Structure 1
């Protein structure tokens, strides 16, 4: 078998992954998931709530940089999709708490895996970006 210098074999995709993305029903479900948790804040909210129920202000303090409006929008979206529950206590002033639903808790393990991958590969990503940027100059 001949060796080709300077090239690497292309990674082999998981057999079902490409088919899943191309099938209408499964592809839509996958794209919906990316729309749901693929933004800047959703996984941070899910990760923060993984430690338990929090009030809005506690949640906001735990997520630096998130505005009140953005946190409100993301919590509503996660609640709408069944990942977060919102409990309003009949007090003056009203106390509102947020928690993960049973389905929301199923996202913790994949979210931790993704975060671990990002942390592990951050130095490589930074080096690749720097090398790319230097080539562009």
Structure 2
């Protein structure tokens, strides 16, 4: 049985209340969901190119995540393949700074303790 698409007001992983932030965390916390959003931030991609850019995620998982992200309004299908919707692009504005922060964090986390 596959996981249900998270919906506001319905219980999700980590929350019985289904508050919007918890619904978003459930959706984005699924295997490859963030990777798909991150890769689509650079522009539309076909299924095969997206699969390749996501380190050869299995077609089943990629198809499932794309279906979930499309149903939740984050991804859409355009003339050139899959792409972020307007809401998906807005979401990426908030995610992008995490990329820069992760570089700083990664560098600090690998330093020897003093």
TM-score of Structure 1 vs Structure 2, range by shorter chain? 0.7 to 0.9
Does 2:68 correspond to 1:84?
no
2:99 to 91, 115, 120: 115
| Equivalent residue number for residue 34 of structure 2 | 43
CA–CA distance in structure 1, aligned partners of residues 33 and 97 of structure 2: 15
CA distance in 2, matches of 1:36, 1:57: 22
Q: Which runs of 4+ in 1 moved over 2 A?
A: 123-128
Indicate the larger mover: 77-86 or 110-119. 110-119
Q: Is the 8 A contact 1:43 1:111 kept in 2?
A: no
Mapped pair 1:59 → 2:50: yes
Q: Note the residue ranges of structure 2 that are not aligned, 5 or more in a row.
A: 1-16
Aligned residues: 97
By percentage of residues, which structure has more helix?
1
SS in 1 for 2:19: helix
Match of 1:36, SS state, is helix
Pair 1:106-2:106 in alignment: no
Unaligned residue ranges in structure 1 (runs of 5+): 1-23, 90-95, 132-137
TM-score normalised by L of structure 2: 0.73
Is 1:28 the counterpart of 2:28? The answer is: no
**Offset from partner CA, 1:36-76 (integer Å, 9 cap, x none):** 11334112111211121111001111111411111111111
- Give the aligned CA root-mean-square deviation in angstroms: 2.3
Q: Distance in 1 between matches of 2:92 and 2:52?
A: 20
Cα distance change of structure 1 residues 113 and 60 upon mapping to structure 2, 3 Å threshold: same
Q: 2:85, 2:67 → 1: CA distance?
A: 13
